[in-house]
Amino acid sequence: MGDLASNLNLYLALLGGVLFFSAYASKISEKIGIPLLLVFLGIGMLLGSEGIGGIEFSNAILAQIIGTIALVFILYSGGLNTHYKEIKPVLKSGILLATLGVLLTTMVMALCIYTMLDFSFLESLLLGAIVSSTDAAAVFMVLRSSKIKLKNNIDYLLELESGSNDPMAIFLTITILQIIVMPHEASILEWVIQFFAQFIVGGIFGLVCGYLFPKICAKVKIAQAGLYPLLSLAWLLLVFGISSLLYGNGYLSIYIAGILTNKYIFPHKDNIIAFHDSSAWIMQIVVFLVLGLLVFPSQLSSVTLQAVILSVVLIFVARPLSVFISLCRSPYDTKEKIFISWVGLRGAVPIILATYPYAYQLEVSSMFFNIVFFAVILSVLLQGMSLKWVAKILKISKN
């Protein structure tokens, strides 16, 4: 504590410098074409114990907590920036991708991992669940920074999917972990009931809270305009916490609440949305920096083969299969489905989920984390950097 107090000014200056450079990195990202989240991860790795920063950080549980909090802000901001009239035409397709698509991806990945790599079936199923969802932070960041306009509301579909499929992946990951650690604690029927309870409670609670917040803002009539964002922040934490305590899915609740809140006109709405947009950016920077700090680059070479196999199967087999099956009755043609398959970006969520096995003290925890981290980098490099080019080739871009 004495060292912290005596060097507080230095630490504050260093923190300000890192955050300032991270914010300015968006300009660098635009110029050289590297997705911004990779820049943040890279900065984190440079600051880590094996980089020039030399910061010792190996607390996976703390990283998981930071990631959980960050996801709350990122998803709520994504909901607030989503207009219901824009996602209404793609609502059915988005829900199918966020539920059936995640389940199919998990199953296909599990079968391929079990067949091709040296893991048990339950371990393969767990690894498949961890990488099963597209990442809201990654998709929002890449789509919005690339500024491409897509035909047939595809961009709204991709944002809806990425914002709403995290609850499914989180539920599957935790359920499979509990089956591995406590195989006799619950029956399949209990897991099914728990699944539907989480989504029903989470969905209804999100709708109720999304409807109530604009009414509250209109009624309280606080004189200080600067307190409205604070009111919104308090509401966000209450929605997530209470939904989770009621055995609902808090992530689903806040995303739905954000979308519904945006439907209404209420005092200081623009200020509140701007506040949450800034908060989401800060959280994205922080979570990617922390996850970059957590990884040891020297360990990645030992999982290169597994990560490449995982990425190839995910990008070229599991994701396309899940998309084409989930959207088999949708109005999207083959080229559009191919593009939707290609924007299966992985990012913070799979890496955060890869920290969950540490909490259950699984032997494969470290290997899983390194494989997933490496696979995310490959996904963002290959898919994120080629997004505009693929859209142009498939002729689905309005630009």
Distance CA 144, CA 132 (A): 22
Which of the residues in the chain have pLDDT under 70?
1-6, 28-35, 136-138, 140-147, 183-187, 399
The domains found in the chain, sorted by start residue, are 35-398 (1.20.1530.20)
CB–CB of 255/206 below 8 Å?
yes
Amino acid 16: pLDDT: 85
* Alpha-carbon distance values, 105 to 81, 128, 281, 356 (Å): 27, 7, 29, 19
Amino acid 133: pLDDT: 85
Question: What phi-psi label fits residue 301: left (phi over 0), alpha (psi between -120 and 50 degrees) or beta?
Answer: alpha
Distance CA 240, CA 255 (A): 10
- Helix (H) or strand (E) segment spanning residue 295: none
The string of DSSP letters for 68-136 reads HHHHHHHHHHHHHT--HHHHGGGHHHHHHIIIIIHHHHHHHHHHHHHHHSS--HHHHHHHHHHT-SPPH
Distance CA 61, CA 357 (A): 10
Tell me the per-residue pLDDT of 297-324, one tens digit each, with 9 for 90 and over: 888 888 999 999 999 999 999 999 999 9
- Angle at the Cα of 348 (from 106 to 136), degrees rounded to 5? 80
Amino acid 293: pLDDT: 87
Work out the end-to-end distance of the chain between its first and last CA atoms, rounded to an integer number of angstroms. 55
* Alpha-carbon distance values, 104 to 96, 313, 318, 336 (Å): 11, 13, 8, 19
CB–CB of 61/297 below 8 Å?
no
Q: What is the pTM of this model?
A: 0.86
